[in-house]
């Protein structure tokens, strides 16, 4: 069994291998060739960039928890949003939670179903923007909220993104669940430094 072909860079557990027909003896033979991310979770190889390695760490935490999902900065990574901290993704802690968890600033998580990503479930764009806006200082939070605003606008046309109607609609959607300065100031036409 070619593990790289089967799993790629995604984490797996020994149970996943048994379900695919690998015997315990075969697992012991190939165990030396894989990288251990945490107890009982392995990858065929670590990612070549810091975002991929961080996503692997997130997926390793989520693989054994059935009703948890990535939140905050971890969701920012999985959704492909810019890193507002200007530090390597490798240095950021993994943040996961369940439906009843609260953020560090007591922002209650959205009860909507988490969205699936390649690496595991995470909060949707709006909930991720709300969490980041509540946890980071305004200049850093704007990097993420502006990127979310561009995605919510659903257009790449610079004139449409700069229109007052587009800005108002995106801000309305962002501010439905919470109020934070970074949400109210989100601009889909803004260029972020990230």
pLDDT of residue 120: 93
Indicate whether this model's pTM tops 0.75: yes
Tell me the DSSP string of 118-140: SS--B--HHHHHHHHHHHS-HHH
pLDDT of residue 61: 93
pLDDT of residue 34: 92
Which pair of structure tokens corresponds to residue 21? 């027909």
Q: Which residue has the higher pLDDT, 153 or 194?
A: 153
The pLDDT-based confidence of 110 (bands split at 50, 70, 90) is low
Q: Which residue has the higher pLDDT, 194 or 57?
A: 57
Candidates 145, 139, 134; CA nearest to 188 is 145
Candidates 121, 174, 118, 123; CA nearest to 150 is 174
Percent above pLDDT 70 for the chain: 87
Calculate the average pLDDT of the chain.
84
User: Is it the case that residue 68 has pLDDT exceeding 60?
Assistant: yes
Q: How long is the chain?
A: 194
pLDDT of residue 141: 87
pLDDT tens for residues 141-178? 888 888 888 888 876 776 676 777 777 787 887 777 77
Let me know: does 160 contact 97? Beta carbons within 8 Å.
no
CA dist., res. 30 & res. 26, Å (int): 6
Work out the average pLDDT over 120-129. Answer: 90
Bridge partners for 115 per DSSP: 122
Contacts of residue 152, Cβ cutoff 8 Å, sequence gap at least 6: 125, 126, 170, 173, 174, 188
Main-chain phi, psi angles of 93, to 5 degrees: -75, 150
Four-CA torsion 155, 156, 159, 162, nearest 10 degrees = 70
Candidates 74, 170, 184, 53; CA nearest to 122 is 74
Q: Which residue has the higher pLDDT, 93 or 104?
A: 93
User: Is it the case that residue 103 has pLDDT exceeding 60?
Assistant: no
Let me know: does 12 contact 41? Beta carbons within 8 Å.
yes
pLDDT of residue 163: 75
């Amino acid at each position: 069994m070619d593990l790289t072909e089967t799993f790629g860079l995604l984490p797996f557990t020994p149970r996943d291998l048994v379900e695919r027909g690998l015997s315990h003896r075969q697992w012991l033979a190939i165990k030396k060739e894989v990288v251990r991310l945490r107890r009982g979770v392995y990858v065929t190889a670590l990612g070549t960039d810091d975002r991929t390695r961080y996503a692997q760490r997130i997926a390793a935490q989520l693989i054994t928890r059935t009703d948890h999902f990535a939140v905050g900065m971890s969701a920012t990574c999985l959704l492909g949003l810019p890193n507002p901290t200007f530090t390597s993704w490798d240095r950021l802690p993994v943040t996961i939670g369940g439906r009843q968890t609260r953020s560090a600033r007591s922002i209650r998580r959205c009860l909507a179903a988490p969205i699936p990503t390649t690496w595991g479930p995470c909060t949707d764009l709006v909930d991720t923007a709300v969490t980041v806006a509540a946890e980071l200082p305004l200049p850093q939070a704007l990097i993420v909220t502006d990127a979310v605003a561009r995605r919510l606008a659903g257009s790449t046309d610079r004139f449409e993104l700069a229109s007052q109607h587009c800005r108002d609609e995106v801000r309305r959607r962002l501010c439905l669940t919470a109020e934070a300065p970074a949400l109210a100031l989100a601009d889909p036409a803004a260029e972020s430094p990230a």
